[in-house]
Structures are given as structure tokens and as C-alpha cells.
Amino acid sequence: MRFYSFRVALALLLLLAPLTLLAQAQYLLRGVVRGTDGGALPGANVAVPTLGLGAATDANGRYELSLPAGRHRVVASFIGYKTVTEDVNLRGPQRLDLVLSAGTELQEVVIEGSGTLEQKLQTTQMGVERLSAREAKLLPALFGEVDILKTLQLKPGVQNGGEGTSGLFVRGGSADQNLFLVDDAVVYNPNHLFGLFSTFNSDVVQSVDLYKSGFPAQYGGRLSSVVDVKLREGSRDSFGVSGGIGLISSRLAVEAPIKKGKGSFLVAGRRTYFDVFTRQINKLNEDTKDYNPIPDYYFYDLNLKANYQLTDKDQVFLSGYFGNDVFGFNSTRGFNFDFHWGNRSATARWSHVFSPKLFTNSTATWSYYTYNIANKLDQFSFGLGSNIRDWNLRSDWEWRPTEKHVVRFGGSGTVHHFGVGRLQANGGSFNIGQNVEYDGLEGGLFAADNFTVTDKLALDYGLRLTGFRSGSNDYGGLEPRAAARYSLTPSLSLKASYALMYQYVHLVTNSGASLPTDIWYPSRLSVKPQRSQQVSTGFSWLLGAGKFLLTDEVYYKWAQRQIDFRDGAQLFVNPELDAEFLFGRGWAYGNEIYLEKKQGKTTGWLGYTLAWTKREFEPQRGTNGINGGRAFFPTYDRRHNLTLVLLHKLNKRVNLTGSFVYTSGNPTTLPTARIGVQDVYGGELQAVPIYPDRNSFRLPSYHRLDLGVVYKLKPWRTIGGESDLTLSIYNAYNRRNPYFIYIDEVKNEETGLPERYRARQVSLFPVIPSLTYNFKF
């Protein structure tokens, strides 16, 4: 592998050169912000209003403020918590941990301080969305199943893959170009039930950060976005149980201190119960002749998280996930079918604070995704499967040499194992075994400096060096990252960013949706790493005495070595799969306008995106490419996208919420012509569709209104605690949104011959009300 070690060392030195600025005579105030349950609160705001200084806590709830010596009043606030004020007399570096208690009103009420908007105004980071599980829980959800990925789809620049699905398509990127991290472990398929639900149980999610551009240097490996999910920690003070009973699933979480004030654990589970009903239906029909039983289907998730404060400077975390979808079928005709798929992941992290200016996280993760199909008929049986497994070690360092610099550096190494395809087939006289496997080694080194040059100008610049080896194939590249913010006025900032990204692993999929049988494939032979570059610029403007933040971002992204597949490609258990790939380029550009309000009884946001996405695959490898080599719009191209989200606290017990979405119809391919094929012996004349240019037709536009009410019930007399009823109405005005259109043949009832052809539109979800009961004690 070509790591360019000397050049990298030189580059890192150059990066760190501006650090020669000397420290000021100020002292560092640092600490951790926690809830009363002991869990760290990432994204909380800690500020000294008299000095106009503030900081947001990091993923571990840590904050740091550089303050002049003397007395200061420190204010800490966070969504859904009472604001806390503490006085400090700073005579040297000092630690101040802050504990916030949940609001007396509904736990989920949004009372986020204006500091958050100010931080968004001041930060150099562009194209980032932070979402707390509390926000997601308030919003109406399909079948009442709160899904943090679907909430992210309400943000500008993020498209879904189809009605009700949790797939993300960020700024023209495809579904496999998102890096999903849960407590730093990669999740390869974050979907249940073909994308209708995500694998993130909202009961255990603390927050989600979505990066669309200006990617920080510590992230790499995907072209289009990073979805960084942090799970919450259990209470360090008391035993607690929370959960919910919904239309299609129930949830339960148990948390308790390991040692009071020192550490805690959290165990949470979720399971659907479609299968309970379908089994009963099958049982009632078991005597019905020719009855086809409904297959069993269910999914479940299990999360575990534990943390322990070893010393004042050392803390350890363990986090684990185990989830499966199970689909089974037993036919009376002797056919048995079992299909299951799921993710597992584990994270172990050690945080150590060397000094008030230097701390580190050392993390080991393990990720695994697998699917297996087993099929049996009399003496015939076959099994088909695929998996991907990662072992990852990473070290992240943060160093604050002066109040003007925050330096982050570190490295990571991942050992991948790609079980691209496994087939076992046995019959009366044959026994087939085929296994296609590859190994890969991925490494990355990064360094970045967030440099506050003046009160008006801040820079964030960094470099990431990545490399990948699979067999005898080596790849590598430098990924520069840069962002700048210039404050025109105290309430108006201009911003710009640039990022280059490489992606060394690729999803082999031949469908428009995220399917569990999609396979991950390494860069090898003709399959070179994907590469993208993105520039974006825009402004953030604090309006209405700090109550509103208006953000506008323009972006242009261009990508090389995008992948697709030749028609009729053999994607399964093919040792020469690389020969089935086609390579092309893609580009996307657009403008995102975003107005948000996070303070007061009524909060929410309004977003509008105008965007274009195109891909082009020229003739190659004995094919005409895709679409004859002409550029085309992928199915996730949407010209206009408007979202309005409102949350209103009516009184102490009632929260009203609503969201409205409007998007242009997605491109699709409809057959323009037909031919008749008689075929050989037997059968009837069949109409065979002839397709024109790919995605040359657009479905009608999509719009939908969802409404929700959260009603807090009275505390239980015996054990205290709290509970609420959440009513969601999905698609409130029952819009028949197009899911897809097909051409149907209408036959004459008497002759059985085709009479005419018609276009039919299929919609997926009508108005769907749902009620969920949530509790916590």
C-alpha cells in the first residue's frame, strides 16, 4: 500500500504550523454535562452570557471554555431539560460538571436554548443536521413507529427512496454512499422490512448527526454523507424502566447504575408482532383447500450499552447491537423457506483525559451484516447467503493548545471480510458448493485544525490520507477538507467548504431500493474506488432577536467511478463479479434554504431544496453503457422539495405536531411500446414491454401531511413515573401518492383475449392513524 509517509508527515506539519501562536493568560474550564440519570448529553449548550462565549458538548457530553480568570456565571441548557446556572471563580484550570434535570412539563417538550442557533451561526461546519431522539419522538410517524432516519428525510438535501422507506439519498448520492455509525461501529444495512423501518430503536438513540458536506477529517469511507448515531447511556443513579406499546411493535428498555454515580448499563429491545396475527389467520384456514399460508415475518432489535468512570480521567464504554429480520414459509406442497438477515455490532471505547488541553478516545469496533436464505423441497435443498465483517481500531485525539485552536488527529485501521456469495445446493445426485470471499484492509490517518483567526474569521482545515488493499490491489489517496466562516455582522455569517472523499467498498444492488440481499464488494481488479468532490457555500442569518436561523447553502458535487451493472448481470455467487460492473460519473447541484426556530412554545423548521442529480455511463465492456451512454436522472433526483415541521406546546400535557412534505415526482421508466412474443410450445401470446431512455418519465408530485398529538397521562399513584399516549395520523388528507405506475392488460372476460391496455398508479399508504402508549418509571 502506498502511504506516502514522508509526504503525509510534511502535510501534517504544514497543517499544524499555525499553532505557533502562543496561549493567552486565560484558564480552561472543562467538564461533562449529564442528565440527572447520569447519561452524558451530547449537543448541550454551555455558555457564559456576559462574555458572549459558549460551546456545545461533544459526543461524550464534554465541553471546554477558555475564560479569563475571575468570577463567571455559567449557564447550561439542553432540549427538554431545565436550564442550570452555576457560578465559578476561576483561578486556574478547573473542572465543572453540570447536571441537568428533565423539565417538569412533558419530557419531550423542546425548550432548546437560543445558544444552539448561535452556535450554528458561528460554526465553520456546513451541511450538518443534528437531531435529538426527543424531537423525533414528538413528530407523527408511520404506524406510530418513531424512526430517526425518516425524521432526517425531513431535512433539506435529503431524499427518501420511496414512500415510507428509511433509505437516505443525500445531495445526489446513492443509498450506499452514506456512512452509518452507531457508537462508532459501521452499520451496513440500517433497515428492517425492506427499508420501511430503520434499525435504530428511538428509545436508545440520544442524537444523530448528519453531515452532508464539509465532512470533518475524522470521517471517511463514503462519498455522500455521514450519519453518526449516538446511543444514550443508562441512569447512573437509579433503576428505570421505559417502553411503549404500538400498532406493530413493542419496546422495553431497562437501565440501572453499575455503581451509583460511577457507571450504568442500559438494555433495550424491540420486536414486531405481525407474525402473531398471521399465524392465527393461517391456523383458522389450515383446513381450507389450496390455502396459501401467509409467511411468518418479524424483526427484533437488542441494544446494550454500559459505561463506567474508572478515574477522574478515564472512562470506558461498551455498546452492542443485535438485530434480525426473519421471514419464513412452510407450504403444504412440501416447500420450506427461511430467510433471515441482520446486523450485529460491538464497540468498546476508552476515553482518557491527559490534561485539560489534551484528551483521547481509543475505540475498537466490530460490525457484521449477513443474510441467509435456506430452501428445502423434498430431497432438494439450497442455501444462499452473503456477509460482511469488519474489525476496526481507531484512535482519536483532541488537543487545544490555545483558545484559538482545536486540533484533532488520529488514525484508524479496518480489516474487512467480504463474504460476497455463498451457495450450497444439494439434490438427489448433485452437491454444489460455491463460496466467493475476499479480504480487505482499510486505513486512514487524519489531522485537522479548527482555527479561530479573528472574531470574524474561522477556518477548519484538515487532511485525510486513506488506503485500501484487497489481494494484490492497492489503492490510496489524499482527502483534503476545508471550511471557512466569516461573520459579516454578529448575526450574519458567510460560509464555504470543500471536501474530497474516497469510497473503497461498494454495494452491489440492481434495484431502486435497499434490499437485504444487496452485497458489499471491495475495490479490486477493475473496480476502482469511487471518488467525489463537493464545494458548497452559503450564509447563516440569525433573525428575530435570535429566535430564527435562516440558512442557505449552494452545493456542487461531482463524482467519478460511479457504479452500476450491465443488463442481465449475474450478481449472486459470481467469482467474476467485477466483470459485471459498469463505471460512470455523476454530478449533483442545488440550493437548500432552511429556516428553523428552536425556542418558545412553537418550534420547527421550513426547508426548501432545488436540486439536480445526473449520472452518465458511456458505452463500455461490450455494452452500450446505460441509456446508450446518454446522461440520465437517477430515481432519487427531485427537482423541488419542501418540508414544514411544526411542534407546538399547547399546555403542560398536550403537544401538537405536524409535518408537511412536497416533492417533485421521481423519475421512472415506463414502457412506450410493446411487442408480441408467442414463444415455443405452450403458453399464450405475451405482451413484452419495450423501454425507452432510462427514467425519462416523471411520476406525479408527492405531498403528504402528518399530524400528531402527545398527551401526557397523570403519574401512576403507586410507583410514580410517567406515561403518554401518542396519536399519529400519517397522510392526514389521504392523498393517493404515486408509488409506481405500471401498464396493465385488460382481458375480455368471455374470450380471455386482450381488450385494451391501461396505465395504473399504485399508492402505498392511505391515511393511517396509530396510537402508541409510552411509559417510563
Contact flag: residue 332 with other proteins (CB under 8 A): yes
SS3 state of residue 149:
helix
By CB under 8 A, what part of segment 196-235 binds other proteins? 196
Give yes or no for residue 346 binding other proteins (CB under 8 A).
Answer: no
Residues 488-517 that bind other proteins (CB under 8 A): 510-513, 515-517
Q: Pick the stretch among 12-20, 330-338, 440-448, 555-563 that binds other proteins (CB under 8 A).
A: 330-338
User: Least distance to other proteins from the beta carbon of 515, Å?
Assistant: 4
Residues 414-443 that bind other proteins (CB under 8 A): 423, 425, 427-430, 432, 434
Contacts of 358 (CB under 8 A, 6+ apart): 397, 398, 399, 400
As beta bridge partners, residue 229 has 182, 208
Nearer to other proteins, 4 or 194 (CB): 194
| CB of residue 337 to other proteins, shortest distance in Å | 6
Q: Which of residues 360-379 bind other proteins (CB under 8 A)?
A: 373, 375, 377-378
Count Cβ atoms below 10 Å from residue 748 Cβ, excluding itself.
10
Q: Which is nearer to other proteins, 320 or 342 (CB)?
A: 342
C-alpha cell at 638: 427531485
Q: Which helix (H) or strand (E) segment is 135 a member of?
A: helix 133-138
**φ, ψ of residue 5 in degrees (nearest 5):** -60, -40
User: Judged by CB under 8 A, does residue 194 bind other proteins?
Assistant: yes
Give the list of residues 6+ apart from residue 150 with CB closer than 8 angstroms, or none.
141, 142, 160, 166, 198
Q: Residue 277, interface with other proteins (CB under 8 A)?
A: no
Nearer to other proteins, 78 or 299 (CB): 299
Q: Of 78, 81, 317, 327, which one interacts with other proteins (CB under 8 A)?
A: 327
Cell of 144: 406510530
Task: Please report how close the Cβ of residue 124 comes to other proteins at its closest, in angstroms.
Answer: 41
* Shortest distance, position 333 Cβ to other proteins, whole Å: 5
Can residue 761 be called a binding residue for other proteins (CB under 8 A)? yes
Q: Does 381 bind other proteins (CB under 8 A)?
A: no
Site for other proteins in 147-166 (CB under 8 A): 162
Q: How far is the CB of 397 from other proteins (least distance, A)?
A: 43
Q: How far is CA 344 from CA 146, 151, 189, 508, 588, in A?
A: 21, 23, 10, 20, 33
Q: Is residue 685 packed enough to be buried (19+ CB in 10 Å), middle (13-18) or exposed (0-12)?
A: exposed
Judged by CB under 8 A, the residue of 146, 384, 445, 705 near other proteins is: 384
Smallest gap from Cβ 748 to other proteins, in A, equals 10
Binding of other proteins at residue 743 (CB under 8 A)?
Answer: yes
Check binding of 116 to other proteins (CB under 8 A). no
Cell triple for 482? 476545508
Per-residue contact flags (x/-) with other proteins for residues 664 to 703, judged by CB under 8 A: -----xxxxxxxxxx-xxxxxxxxxxxxx-x-xx--x---
**Least CB distance to other proteins at residue 587 (A):** 21
**Per-residue cell: 20:** 505557533
Q: Which residue among 308, 380, 391, 541 contacts other proteins (CB under 8 A)?
A: 380
The answer to whether residues 241 and 253 touch, using CB atoms and an 8 Å cutoff, is yes
Q: With contacts defined by CB under 8 A, how many residues of the chain interact with other proteins?
A: 95
- The single residue among 334, 619, 715, 721 that binds other proteins, judged by CB under 8 A, is 334
Q: Minimum distance between the CB of residue 514 and other proteins, rounded to whole angstroms?
A: 10
- How many whole angstroms separate alpha carbon 149 and alpha carbon 389? 23
The CB density around residue 652, as the number of other CB atoms within 10 Å, is: 12
- Antiparallel, parallel or unpaired: β 296-309 and 314-330: antiparallel
579 binds other proteins (CB under 8 A): no
Scanning residues 230 to 269, which ones bind other proteins (CB under 8 A)? none
Provide the phi-psi class of 741: left if phi over 0, else alpha when psi is between -120 and 50, else beta.
Answer: beta
* Cβ atoms 670, 723 nearer than 8 A: no
Using CB under 8 A, which of the segments 358-366, 404-412, 589-597, 733-741 binds other proteins?
Answer: 733-741
Segments in 183-229 forming alpha helices (H): none
Site for other proteins in 535-574 (CB under 8 A): 567-568, 570-574
Please identify, using beta-carbon distances, which residue of 83 and 620 lies nearer to other proteins.
Answer: 620
Specify which residues 153 forms β-bridges with: none
- Of 283, 544, 758, 771, which lies in the binding site for other proteins, with binding defined by CB under 8 A? 758
* Nearest alpha carbon to residue 202 among 277, 285, 145, 162: 145
Q: Report residue 280: phi and psi, to 5°.
A: -65, -40
**Cα torsion 63, 64, 67, 70: sign:** positive
